[in-house]
């Protein structure tokens, strides 16, 4: 079975405790998708130069944030790992001569478990986390995703978890979307739907408000979009599934790449 790839905005860690239109969308998204045999997540909260893959039979839940309500630290997402799929990822990287490493004992950061908590609350599907490298070009990130495209045709769900607009210094007091954030997302959306990689890969120079939407200290949150997009290179179809904003600028955009839903 072939599954689409997804880009999912994981928002703030407090999303794990929220009930909103967005969390309802994530709940329904998990129900709509055929049950995958495993989930592979390119997570913005694992940013390192060498592509890294979790190679574990089980995971601890990382609470990699501070200053939130105690209830958030009591949440655990006990998803199993899947070493067979992790090994296949490593083999695909090796086939493309991409240096990489397998990692044991890292756990699942909140970029992984927060959205999955809503999509698959029973934590009954194995999960493999894969790092991103925010210093690589969008073209390189896309190409790394493309190396894993065949996994989608073997009932593996691939997710890029991050955020298209993620500038914590620009959060507003309410959820009314700020014009500049919407303009950036709309520019991005038009080119995603056209699969216009030429302009997408140059978003820093071409997109309106690019430096504000994707600041130099937050590039890792956009990177998962290109990794996920690359895994649908053969079909080259993109569809926005959801769009809203928290605190005016924190983008909760979700995209589907490839056919499936």
| Residues 255-261, mean pLDDT to the nearest whole number | 85
Residue 70 scores a pLDDT above 90:
yes
- pLDDT, tens digit, 9 for 90 and up, residues 92-122: 999 999 999 999 999 999 999 999 999 999 9
208 exposed, middle or buried (CB, 10 Å; 0-12, 13-18, 19+)? middle
Q: Could you count the other beta carbons within 10 Å of the beta carbon of residue 123?
A: 18
Provide the pLDDT for residue 99.
Answer: 98
Strands (E), the chain: 5-9, 38-47, 52-54, 101-103, 127-132, 156-162, 238-242, 245-246, 250-251, 254-257
CA atoms within a 13 Å half-sphere pointing along the CA-CB vector of 149: 18
Q: Quick check: 259 pLDDT over 90? A: no
pLDDT at 260 over 70: no
Q: Can you tell me the mean pLDDT for 118-140?
A: 98
C-alpha–C-alpha distance, residues 169 and 162, integer Å = 17
The token pair at 172 is 């507003």
Domain positions in the chain are 5-257
pLDDT digits (tens, 9 = 90+) for 72-90: 999 999 999 999 999 999 9
> Does the predicted TM-score (pTM) go above 0.85?
yes
Whole-angstrom Cα distance, residue 197 to residue 189?
12
The CATH classification number of 5-257 equals 3.40.830.10
Q: Considering only 116-125, 227-236, 251-260, which range has the smallest mean pLDDT?
A: 251-260
């Amino acid at each position: 079975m072939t599954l689409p790839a997804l880009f999912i905005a994981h928002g703030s860690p407090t999303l794990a405790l929220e009930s909103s239109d967005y969390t309802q969308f994530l709940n329904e998204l998990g129900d709509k998708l055929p049950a995958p045999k495993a989930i592979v997540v390119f997570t913005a909260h694992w940013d390192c130069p060498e592509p890294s893959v979790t190679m574990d039979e089980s995971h601890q839940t990382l609470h990699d944030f501070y200053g939130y309500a105690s209830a958030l630290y009591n949440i655990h997402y006990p998803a199993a790992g899947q070493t067979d799929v992790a090994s296949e990822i490593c083999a695909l990287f090796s086939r493309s001569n991409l240096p990489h490493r397998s990692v044991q004992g890292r756990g699942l950061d909140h970029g992984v478990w927060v959205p999955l908590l809503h999509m698959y609350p029973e934590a009954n599907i194995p999960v493999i986390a894969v790092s991103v490298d925010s210093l690589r070009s969008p073209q390189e990130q896309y190409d790394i995703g493309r190396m894993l495209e065949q996994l989608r045709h073997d009932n593996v769900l691939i997710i890029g978890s991050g955020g298209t607009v993620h500038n914590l210094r620009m959060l507003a007091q309410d959820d009314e979307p700020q014009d500049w954030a919407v303009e950036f997302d709309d520019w991005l959306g038009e080119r995603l739907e056209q699969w216009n990689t030429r302009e997408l890969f140059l978003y820093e120079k071409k997109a309106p408000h690019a430096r504000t939407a994707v600041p130099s200290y937050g590039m890792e949150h956009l990177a998962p979009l290109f990794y996920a997009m690359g895994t649908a290179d053969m079909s080259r179809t993109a569809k926005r599934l959801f769009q809203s904003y928290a605190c005016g600028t924190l983008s909760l955009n979700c995209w589907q790449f490839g056919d499936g839903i």
